[in-house]
Amino acid sequence: MAEAARGLSTPKGSAGGLIHRHRWLTPYLLLTPGLAWLALFFCVPLGFLVHQSLETQNPIDFTSSFSWAWHNYSDALTGYHSQLVRSFEYAAIATAIALLVSYPLVYWIAFRGGRWKNLLLLMIIAPFFVTYLIRTLAWETILSDQGIVVRILRDVHILAPDGRLLATSVAVVAGITYNFLPFMALPLYVALEQIDPRLIEAAQDLYASKPKAFLRVTLPLSAPGLVAGTLLTFIPAAGDFINAQLLGTPGQYMIGNVIQSKFLELTDYPAAASLSLLLMAIIIVMIGIYVRILGTEKLTG
Amino acid sequence: MTATLRFVRHHALTAYSALVFAYLLVPIGVVVAYSFNAPRGRFNYVWQGFTFDNWVHWDAVPGLRSAIEVSLEIAALSSLAATALGTLIALALVRYGFRGRGVTNLLVFLPMSSPEIVLGASLLTLFLTMNVATGFATILIAHIMFNISYVVVTVKARLIGFDRHLEEAAMDLGANEWTTFRKVTMPLIAPGVLAAGLLAFALSVDDFVITNFNAGTTVTFPLFVWGAARVGAPPQVNVIGSAIFFVAIAVMLANVLWQLRRPATRPV
């Protein structure tokens, strides 16, 4: 593609001579302002975050100084072990539920949606048009003790007469699932939509049962969407603190809550910085493992 | 398999889909419904009675109007800047061969795949270290930063889909590069650029996490909601939430309708 672009834009005569003589410069001129912004306000800050994570803070005047304080990381791991584990637990459960809930739905839209596809897709992303915090507050209303859900669950004895949903891990996971479900559904839809239905018919013509045709044809072909969807759901879910804050109690707090309060309320910057980087590192490692496993499976399957 | 069984199976999936749609849409219904609630006391959790008061007196809550104004200003400025910067990157990536393409792609991809809390925290660290007071300007800087990547992705998708021969034809007819860009390229990618700008605007209005880290004492609409939620959010918050929802849906519907119309008029 790059070659085609170069071929297409061969200078014609000497018009605009300076630009044409330095054509190789053009892409760099286009890139510079945007990439400079990203470098300055994304890369450089990450560097500062690493620097800060290795500082020690004077407990009296809260000034901190750089001291290769690697113990910040081990302190963070031991001190907030439960919140870290909980974050990935909640994120994994929410991602799994989002996958199970949205796969049949987008399958239905992709293969049976007909001319309504776009409208149905719009309905999937509709929750995004209500501000994140407000739709989480709506769940607070729905799951509240006076709400209809709790009343019904109490009536059928799934919940004890004084049982609650709000302020439990169920509420937090439900909130996370709801908030990030469209991130799962959209890539899945894109992958499923591109599948030629004739492939599935062919499998059935060759005597594959319906479940078998699904497992051997549809599912592998939707794998790219599955990978993208789970990552897009899992990453923000693991770093989330809003659902735990609004729908849970400190007993459900995730690592995001700790980072948030350490940065903005306790101003314990070194600990907060090392926790943030730990979160990012674990996520990157998990993504690596995940993509590798799925990648090799696709090769051998 | 009998026909009846197949019928049940077929409709089971449809019924299931309807249920999931209900799950997705009920909270939106709750937001809109409770914007018409007349709560007694501070908490807008229990339905007390219908009223239009919250819509009529939407700015009766101190601080709400200014928070909305700040949000809209930041969204307008950041989406304009990010759309300009991001479109240029997308043009370079799709139209030119150059060294450093991999690094560029990585730099665009990374902010989108990092947890928001890390983006917010690292920016705060930068501002703290540099002794920059956080406020309107730092929010703006942050929003431009996270919006650039989304603009690049959106515009790139549009650029890849278009017919290069149109530009070639313009050049053959004697147009120089700038004229070709202005008269041919720009009109063709304009829908993609517009979509990217709208997306950036929406992301900016909605952002809480990154803003929360870099706002100082400046209050955007999501920050206002966060503060209000701690003491019981007034129904006016639902009014604004519903209004944002209806505006966004109207824009999206217009877009869907436009796309339905376009194939007939599209010059390919």
pLDDT tens readout for residues A137-187? 999 889 988 888 888 888 888 888 888 888 889 999 999 999 999 999 999
CB contact under 8 A, B233 and A118: no
Q: What's residue B268's pLDDT?
A: 39
Q: What's residue A116's pLDDT?
A: 84
Same domain flag for A44 and A189: no
- Identify which has the larger pLDDT, A39 or A204: A39
Give me the percent of chain B exceeding a pLDDT of 70. Answer: 94
Phi, psi of B40, rounded to the nearest 5 degrees: -95, 130
State the amino acid at position B95 in one-letter form: R
Chain B residue closest to A8 (CA)? B168
Chain A CB within 8 Å of residue B110 CB? yes
Q: Let me know: does A104 contact B17? Beta carbons within 8 Å.
A: yes
CB contact under 8 A, B115 and A130: no
Least confident of A4-18, A101-115, B93-107: A4-18
Q: Which of residues 172-191 of B touch A (CB under 8 A)?
A: 174, 176-178
Residue A2 domain-assigned (yes or no): no
Same domain flag for A54 and A127: no
Same domain flag for A235 and A112: yes
Q: What's residue A255's pLDDT?
A: 93
CB contact under 8 A, B121 and A263: yes
CB contact under 8 A, B97 and A133: no
Phi, psi of A139, rounded to the nearest 5 degrees: -65, -35
Same domain flag for A191 and A44: no
Residue A77 domain-assigned (yes or no): no
How far apart (Å, rounded) are the C-alpha atoms in residues B149 and A298? 29
pLDDT for B166-184, tens place per residue? 888 888 888 888 888 888 8
Same domain flag for A48 and A94: no
Give me the percent of chain A exceeding a pLDDT of 70. Answer: 90
Chain A CB within 8 Å of residue B109 CB? no
A7 pLDDT above the threshold of 50 = no
* Domain end among A41, A69, A97: A69
Instruction: Identify the burial level of A17 via C-beta atoms within 10 angstroms of its C-beta, where 0-12 means exposed, 13-18 middle and 19 or more buried.
Output: exposed
Segments making up each domain of chain B, as ranges: 62-233
Same domain flag for A89 and A214: yes
Same domain flag for A119 and A226: yes
Phi, psi of A65, rounded to the nearest 5 degrees: -135, 150
* Domain end among A69, A98, A130: A69
A299 pLDDT above the threshold of 50 = no
Cα B132 off chain centre by: 27
DSSP element (H, E) containing A57: strand A55-57
Q: What is the mean pLDDT of chain B?
A: 87
Contacts of A264 in chain B (CB under 8 A): 212-213
Q: What's residue B182's pLDDT?
A: 86
Q: What's residue A297's pLDDT?
A: 53
CB contact under 8 A, A15 and B176: yes
Chain A CB within 8 Å of residue B128 CB? yes
Rounded average pLDDT over B32-52? 79
B55 pLDDT above the threshold of 80 = yes
Same domain flag for A63 and A108: no
CATH at A219: 1.10.3720.10
Chain A residue closest to B84 (CA)? A34
CB contact under 8 A, A276 and B176: no
Same domain flag for A147 and A213: yes
Q: Let me know: does A94 contact A173? Beta carbons within 8 Å.
A: yes
Same domain flag for A270 and A176: yes
CB contact under 8 A, A280 and B118: yes
Quick one: pLDDT band at residue A276, thresholds 50, 70, 90?
very high
Chain A CB within 8 Å of residue B163 CB? no
Residue A154 domain-assigned (yes or no): yes
How far apart (Å, rounded) are the C-alpha atoms in residues B213 and B200? 19
- Identify which has the larger pLDDT, A136 or B178: A136
Quick one: pLDDT band at residue A268, thresholds 50, 70, 90?
confident
Quick one: pLDDT band at residue A20, thresholds 50, 70, 90?
low
Q: What is the mean pLDDT of chain A?
A: 85
DSSP category for residue A182: H
> Distance from B40 to chain A by nearest Cα, in Å?
15
How far apart (Å, rounded) are the C-alpha atoms in residues B125 and A51? 9
Alpha-carbon distances of A255 from A42, A91, A270, A285, B82, rounded to whole Å: 21, 11, 15, 17, 30
* Domain end among A69, A97, A129: A69
Rounded average pLDDT over B42-49? 73
- Identify which has the larger pLDDT, A183 or B9: A183
Q: What's residue A2's pLDDT?
A: 44
Q: What's residue A159's pLDDT?
A: 82
- Identify which has the larger pLDDT, B146 or A224: B146
Contacts of A12 in chain B (CB under 8 A): 171, 174, 176
Residue A15 domain-assigned (yes or no): no
pLDDT for B193-221, tens place per residue? 998 999 999 999 999 999 999 998 999 99
Chain B residue closest to A268 (CA)? B125
* Residue position matching structure tokens 């979160």: A279
How far apart (Å, rounded) are the C-alpha atoms in residues B232 and A60? 36
Alpha-carbon distances of B92 from A1, B83, B96, B156, B172, rounded to whole Å: 12, 14, 5, 10, 22
Q: What's residue B266's pLDDT?
A: 46
How far apart (Å, rounded) are the C-alpha atoms in residues A5 and B92? 10
Quick one: pLDDT band at residue A301, thresholds 50, 70, 90?
very low
Chain A CB within 8 Å of residue B253 CB? yes
Same domain flag for A140 and A61: no
Q: What's residue B42's pLDDT?
A: 64
> Distance from A34 to chain B by nearest Cα, in Å?
5
- Residue count of chain B, please give it: 268
Q: Say if the ipTM goes beyond 0.95.
A: no
How far apart (Å, rounded) are the C-alpha atoms in residues A20 and B83? 26
Residue A90 domain-assigned (yes or no): yes
Our CA angle for A243, A248, A251, nearest 5°, is 125
DSSP output for B184-217: IIHHHHHHHHHHHHHHHHHHHHH--HHHHHH-TT
> Distance from A202 to chain B by nearest Cα, in Å?
19
Same domain flag for A46 and A151: no
Phi, psi of B23, rounded to the nearest 5 degrees: -60, -40
* Residue position matching structure tokens 């991999």: B102
Chain B residue closest to A239 (CA)? B115
pLDDT for A251-260, tens place per residue? 899 999 999 9
Residue A34 domain-assigned (yes or no): yes
The count of domains in chain A is: 2
The domain covering B62-233 belongs, at the CATH homologous superfamily level, to: MetI-like (1.10.3720.10)
Between A and B, how many CB-CB pairs are < 8 A?
A: 255
CB contact under 8 A, B256 and A33: no
Highest mean pLDDT among A72-81, A265-274, B75-84: B75-84
Interface test with A, best of B1, B123, B125, B262 (most A CBs within 10 A): B125
Parent domain of A47: 26-69
Quick one: pLDDT band at residue A212, thresholds 50, 70, 90?
confident
Q: What's residue A293's pLDDT?
A: 79
Q: What's residue A185's pLDDT?
A: 93
